[in-house]
Amino acid sequence: MPNFSLAGSTALVTGSSQGIGFALAHGLHAAGAQVVFHGKDTAAPQLPAGSIYLAEDLAEPEGPARLVRAAFAQRPELNLLVCNAGSFFDVPFLEMQPEPWEKTINLNVRGSYFTAQAFARELVARTRAGAIVTTCSTNGFQPEDDSTAYDISKGAMVMLTRTLAQSLAPHHIRVNGIAPGLIRTPLNAGLLDAAKIRHYEKKILLGRLGEPDDCAGAVVFLLSPAARYITGQILVVDGGLTLGQIGRM
């Protein structure tokens, strides 16, 4: 269906040098969009033809605004944004200190909020419609052991998605989110031993851990004309992880 095509659109995907963001950016390109990749490090990943890469630290106060300015300078026709950048810095709650807490909130929440704001300001100034997708998490609905700061940041991302959808609707900018479940990424590679994988495979209804590519179709859909009447929604992409109470024995 042509409604699912992103041909003629240009997207900025934050945190797209690896993991879920890398897969999302490649998925948008496969759907026809021009893509601006982003990462903290200056070394660029393997890019599809015609794509560009921008390095910026979104945890810095002016990082989001700098990134958006640079993206529009390179691609003035930009009309789509994926706020995906985020990370995990948790320790057990009783050991948490202000530094890792603030590092989590600054990157996962503040960075997304002000990236979306800078992007929306550019679209409003150009009287251009657009769409934003945020990367939330099933951790925004269900807590996990030793993950308090991350869980709180992802809960905040759920509400960020909904409140920005309300704020930006008058400007014809849709805002939706995805909530990935347990996806194999460099972020969790060291945390998943064989026993944990077997446990999760019994808990996940589809019987396997997710791969980054499993998230791409949901983002393509939410950014595409096929979702033109959808805003403020969170699409869970977890293979059924959060649906059943107990899982298979």
Q: pLDDT per position in the chain (249 positions), as tens?
A: 569 999 999 999 999 999 999 999 999 999 999 999 999 999 899 999 999 999 999 999 999 999 999 999 999 999 999 999 999 999 999 999 999 999 999 999 999 999 999 999 999 999 999 999 999 999 999 999 999 999 999 999 999 999 999 999 999 999 999 999 999 988 787 777 888 889 889 999 999 999 999 999 999 999 999 999 999 999 999 999 999 887 777
β-pair partners for 34? 10
Residues 13 and 37 sit within 8 Å (Cβ to Cβ)? yes
CA–CA distance, 138 with 141 (Å, rounded to integer): 5
CA–CA distance, 4 with 131 (Å, rounded to integer): 14
The whole-number pLDDT of residue 188 equals 81
3 state DSSP class of 178: strand
**Which amino acid is present at 194?**
A
For this structure, is 53 an active site residue? no
Q: What is the pTM for the complete model shown?
A: 0.96
For this structure, is 202 an active site residue? no
Structure tokens at 206: 């589809």
Which of 16, 53, 153, 154 is the catalytic position?
154
Which of 53, 150, 153, 224 is the catalytic position?
150
Structure tokens at 76: 């003035």
Q: Which domains does the chain have, with CATH numbers?
A: 2-237 (3.40.50.720)
The whole-number pLDDT of residue 73 equals 98
**Which amino acid is present at 227?**
A
For this structure, is 154 an active site residue? yes
The whole-number pLDDT of residue 245 equals 80
Which of 9, 17, 51, 137 is the catalytic position?
137
